[in-house]
Amino acid sequence: MPTSIPLGAPIWADANAPDLAAELEFYTRLFDWKTFDAGEEFGHYTELCLGTSVANARAVAGIAPNQTDQPDRPASWGVAFHVEDCLLAAAHAEKLGATTITQPMRVGDDLVYAALKDPDGGGFGLYEPLNDGMGFTAYGEPGATAWFEYVYDGDPAEPMQFYAELLDWALGVRPAGGPDAPVALRTRETGLEFGGCHAADGPERDLDPQWVVCFGADSLDRKTARAVGLGGRVVVPPGEERARTAVLSSPSGALFGLTDRFAG
């Protein structure tokens, strides 16, 4: 297997941007990321990394400028999950009620990728790595992706049944009580807990069902304030629980999370 990331787990996160330069300015100042432009052949897809040089760069995520036929497409973050065979997984997802947005396609010699929407309308990707080192090489630490939360206005267990069947997840209901108890998400084979689903509350009720990509912060309050100072906006403020998460918007409107909860 080309990567140590377990099957079914998040393997990559990226965003689209109407104004790539402005988005890179915001995120690099917020997280101190370094950027690596893949060049014109790959539409100037830009990899975001921790580290100070190519030699020690560790991949966190990516950002792509909007395609010329969709210049005004709203900025957004998305997550892709590790699958063994993208073509088979996409066909299975359709049988389970998903809608294919982009058919499985090979990206160079590196990966096969498909973009879909789950039965509730939440976007996600299927990612088949073809080479060693594909996917996250920085994960579960400050400045890297650390958690993936699905926001849903209803019983959290309902939308996760689709993913559990597609990606062989184990769903664990947290001991919060009641029909709307949050659901923990784990890969069944390795037991890696990488995210959760909770019932939307407060400002979240205005959000469509979706995955929120959360980046680790060693000081959640300080990092949230920093994001606001750079032109971001707080959509859902940090809660009071032990492991806290805040949902923010970049200056262009892309939702993302900051968390001091780390996958493991």
Domain range annotation of the chain:
10-129, 145-259
Q: Give the pLDDT score at 231.
A: 97
Q: Quote the percentage of the chain above a pLDDT of 70.
A: 94
pLDDT in tens, 167-216: 999 998 766 556 677 899 999 989 999 999 988 888 888 889 999 999 99
Structure tokens at 158: 């309902």
Question: Distance (Å, rounded) from C-alpha 112 to C-alpha 107?
Answer: 6
Domain 10-129: assigned CATH number: 3.10.180.10
pLDDT in tens, 136-166: 999 999 999 999 999 999 899 999 999 999 9
Give the 3-state secondary structure of the chain.
Answer: CCCCCCCCCEEEEEEEECCHHHHHHHHHHHHCCEEEECCHHHCCCEEEEECCCCCCCEEEEEEEECCCCCCCCCCEEEEEEECCCHHHHHHHHHHCCCEEEEEEEEECCCEEEEEEECCCCCEEEEEEECCCCCCCCCCCCECCEEEEEEEECCCCHHHHHHHHHHHCEEEEECCCCCCCCCEEEEECCCCCEEEEEEECCHHHHHCCCEEEEEEECCCHHHHHHHHHHCCCEEEECCCCCCCCEEEEECCCCCEEEEECCCCC
User: Among the listed ranges 7-11, 175-179, 203-207, 237-241, which one has the minimum average pLDDT value?
Assistant: 175-179
pLDDT in tens, 40-61: 888 899 999 999 777 789 999 9
Can you give the pTM of this predicted structure? 0.94
- Closest to 114 measured CA to CA, from 83, 154, 138, 135: 83
10-129 and 145-259 agree in CATH topology: yes
Q: Give the pLDDT score at 117.
A: 98
Report residue 132's pLDDT band, with 50, 70 and 90 as the boundaries. Answer: confident
**Domain 145-259: which CATH class?**
alpha beta
User: Among the listed ranges 74-83, 119-128, 186-195, 239-248, which one has the minimum average pLDDT value?
Assistant: 239-248
